[in-house]
Amino acid sequence: MLCCFNLLNVIEIESLKTSLNMDFSMTNNKKSIQPSVPPVQSAQRALNILKCFSIENPELGITEIANRLDLHKSTVHRIIATLEAEGFLRQLNDGHYALSWRLFELGTAVFQWRGSRQMVLETLERIVERTGETAHLAVLDGNKVLYIEKVESPHHLRMPSAVGKRISPHCTALGKVLLAGLDEAKMLSLIYGAPLERLTPNTITDPDLLRQELLKVRSQGYAIDNEEIEVGLTCIAAPVVNPEGTTCGAISISGPSSRVNSHLADHVASICEEVSSLSKRLGSQATLLREICSESTP
């Protein structure tokens, strides 16, 4: 249900540290953006209900939703009844609710590039054939990396991941590529705007060091995650760019460090070659990837 979740997402050094007066929410690490038009409360509540659902929480009851949103159960019940009647939610046998296929239908409108999507999948498949590791396509959605396509490795031991999952960018090869592809102001606002969580001993948590890493990524054209999100896991990523050279997405491989590192140079060459070729074949269609989340990275 990637498209459902994706559809609902409606977002120089020292001087920056002291003058960055952006309002970052510390509860969800997303930049608070004041809408130019006051929101309609009922519509806002309906959307917030839909956003309660996720890969981690695909089924929810009225009480749980009411508690999460601090709303009366009667209010939640009325809104859910409307969403169910319009086909956006469905009630399960146990009384809980789940997103419906109507949202999936709407979400598919995000991917206006069906022919291009096939090119992406074929590229991911070739990368898996050449490297033997799981391949992903991802975009930057707000301050998170969002997986939007995946082709599994044939190996039994492989990276656990899912289309629709969101991960932090500072500790991943995909995220480094996507951050490095932003303009300087956006990049700095993300790496200095909120604490960088340590997930492993190798995670970069110093924004100054992360900036140096991102400048290196820009220069060499690829990124490596050296067990920075999970011990024993190594990832390599390269940018998908449009004809203007703007980074619109990123493709990576992920696998056990022992396997990936034993062929590191070959894997880097394979990914860079395949992703560069894809970017040329996509042409301006690559921009659609960036537009998917354009509202989330203002």
Same domain, 100 and 151: no
d(CA 27, CA 120): 35
Write down the number of H helices and E strands in the chain. Answer: 13, 8
Instruction: Tell whether 271 and 238 lie within a shared domain.
Output: yes
| Residues 88 and 42 both lie in one domain | yes
- The answer to whether the beta carbons of residues 298 and 159 sit under 8 Å apart is no
Maximal C-alpha separation, the chain: 59
Would you state the pLDDT for residue 210?
A: 96
For 39, residues 6+ apart whose C-beta sits below 8 A from its C-beta are none
Predicted local confidence at residue 101, as pLDDT: 75
Residues 164 and 188 grouped into a single domain: yes
- Secondary structure (DSSP) of 85-143: HTTSEEE-TTS-EEE-HHHHHHHGGG---HHHHHHHHHHHHHHHHHH-SEEEEEEEETT
Of 107, 136, 152, the position where a domain reaches its end is 107
Residue 157: other Cβ atoms inside 10 A: 10
Mean pLDDT (the chain) is 82
pLDDT for res 3:
45
Distance CA 251, CA 245 (A): 16
What stretches in the chain show pLDDT beneath 70?
A: 1-39, 104-105, 107-115, 156-162, 290-298
For residue range 60-83, list pLDDT tens digits in order.
999 999 999 999 999 999 999 999
Q: Are residues 119 and 238 in the same domain?
A: yes
DSSP 285: G
Residue 128: inside a domain: yes
Q: How far apart are CA 90 and CA 271, in angstroms?
A: 41
Please tell me whether residues 61 and 80 are part of one structural domain. yes
Are 172 and 99 members of one domain?
Answer: no
Same domain, 124 and 67: no
- How far is it, in rounded angstroms, from Cα 214 to Cα 220? 10
Structure tokens at 107: 């979400």
Distance of CA 244 to the CA centre of its chain: 22
Kindly state whether residues 62 and 201 are assigned to the same domain: no
Considering the domain architecture, whether residues 38 and 162 belong to the same structural domain is answered as no
- The one-letter amino acid at 78: R
pLDDT of residue 267: 95
> Tell me, what's the pLDDT at 286?
83
Give the angle subtended at the CA of 27 by the CAs of 193 and 200, to the nearest 5°: 65
- Give the residue from 72, 90, 107 where a domain finishes: 107
pTM: predicted TM-score of the whole model, two decimal places? 0.65
Q: Which residue, 67, 83, 107, sits at the end of a domain?
A: 107
The answer to whether residues 76 and 201 belong to one domain is: no
Residues 96 and 128 in one domain: no
Q: At what angle do helices 41-51 and 73-85 cross, to 10 degrees?
A: 80
* Domain hosting residue 74, numbered range: 2-107
The domain that holds 139 is classified in CATH as 3.30.450.40
Residue 252 lies in a domain: yes
Strand segments (E) across the chain: 89-91, 97-99, 134-141, 144-151, 166-167, 223-226, 233-241, 247-256
Number of domains in the chain: 2
